[in-house]
Structure 1
Amino acid sequence: MADALVRIQRLIRRRLRDGLSVPRLRGAEVELLRLVESRPGIGISDAARELHLASNSVSTLVNQLVRGGHLLRETDPADRRAARLRLTASAEKRLGDWQRRRAELVGRHVSRLTEADREALHAALPALHRLAAALREEAGEAGSA
């Protein structure tokens, strides 16, 4: 199952990269941007914990994404030593475009499956969500050890 999910994800990324007019972002960069999108104002330490990366690795990613015009690093008014992260308008647009194109691509291919296959995929979604939650939970426990 894990092999099939990885293969699907890789194929989706490859298809979506075709025809991109902007330089592609690495996986860790996209993960950080998605995290900031879901939690605007997150700090670097919290982002590192959430992504299970070292703080200095996240700092390096932040520096690259700030230079690339994807992230804004704002000083935390409560702690002038800390930074809060926000997406730039161009990063919001880029993530939105990517998500729209991904939904269209997957939707187009799912619609070509048989009704039985579509029902099987739909029925598997709750179990896949529970699996993802369990993996997140385990990673959180491992990260706090």
Structure 2
Amino acid sequence: MSSSPSVPDPATEPTGPRAGHDAPENERARRLTDVVTRLRRTLRSAIRTDYPWESLPMAQVELLQSLAAAPLRVGELADRQRLAPNTVSGLVGKLLEAGFVDRQADPGDRRTARIALTPAGRRQLDDWQQAHERRIATALGTLSPADRDAVMEALPALDRLARALAETTAAPE
């Protein structure tokens, strides 16, 4: 009597040409990278399917998120997003055209301007956030209670990982 082969769980089983050949820490990093990439891609795709009004590119959403706390100069936005200032200037231009941000005089340096969210930009960001929260809440609801707990218990460690990554990428070149 033969037993049916078990189907590997892609979230827990190594895959690809290097599976089983990497050091354990490299394999964990590869698996985490894979899951995070799939999670971001799936969420981005799902939000556009579920909420077709959402048309802002992720780079523009991330700029709006950076501006949520306070207005910033283009150079500060570029540093926070780890993008070239001319790239941020182009993104800011599109957000200006959409009416989501405006330029304000910088009280500390009259030669520069700060970029600030407009009420329309705040609404757009709030709508985007709420849509994502609904989508994630729905997906979390499909998980077992143990899996939901595991996801929530992992958040503090994932936050520390994000901070550690930000610190290593912010190091001087």
Match of 2:21 in 1: none
- 1:32 equivalent to 2:63? Answer yes
Which secondary structure does the structure 1 equivalent of 2:39 belong to? Answer: helix
Which secondary structure does the structure 2 equivalent of 1:84 belong to? Answer: strand
CA distance in 1, matches of 2:57, 2:152: 30
CA distance in 1, matches of 2:159, 2:80: 18
Whether the 8 Å CA contact 2:105–2:114 is kept in 1: the answer is yes
- 1:51 equivalent to 2:81? Answer yes
User: CA 1:98/1:67 → structure 2, altered by over 3 Å: closer, same or farther?
Assistant: same
Opposite residue 21 of structure 1, the aligned amino acid is W
How do 1:111-130 and structure 2 match up within 5 A? 111-130=141-160
User: CA 1:27/1:21 → structure 2, altered by over 3 Å: closer, same or farther?
Assistant: closer
Q: Which runs of 5+ in 2 are unaligned?
A: 1-31
Work out which of the residue numbers 52, 57, 69 in structure 2 matches 1:20: 52
Deviation of 1:98 after TM superposition, in Å, equals 1.3
CA deviations 1:39-77 (Å, max 9, x no partner) are: x22111111111111112211211121112111111213
- Detail structure 1 runs of 4+ shifted over 4 Å in the superposition: none
RCO greater where, 1 or 2, for CA within 8 Å and sep 6 or more?
1
Q: Which has the higher strand share?
A: 1
Which secondary structure does the structure 1 equivalent of 2:102 belong to? Answer: strand
Work out which of the residue numbers 54, 69, 80 in structure 1 matches 2:110: 80
Opposite residue 68 of structure 2, the aligned amino acid is E
CA distance in 1, matches of 2:105, 2:43: 36
CA distance in 2, matches of 1:130, 1:76: 33
Deviation of 1:92 after TM superposition, in Å, equals 0.8
Match of 2:34 in 1: 3
Work out which of the residue numbers 73, 79, 90 in structure 2 matches 1:60: 90
**How many percent identity over aligned positions?**
36
CA distance in 2, matches of 1:27, 1:4: 19
Q: Which runs of 5+ in 1 are unaligned?
A: none
CA distance in 2, matches of 1:34, 1:43: 14
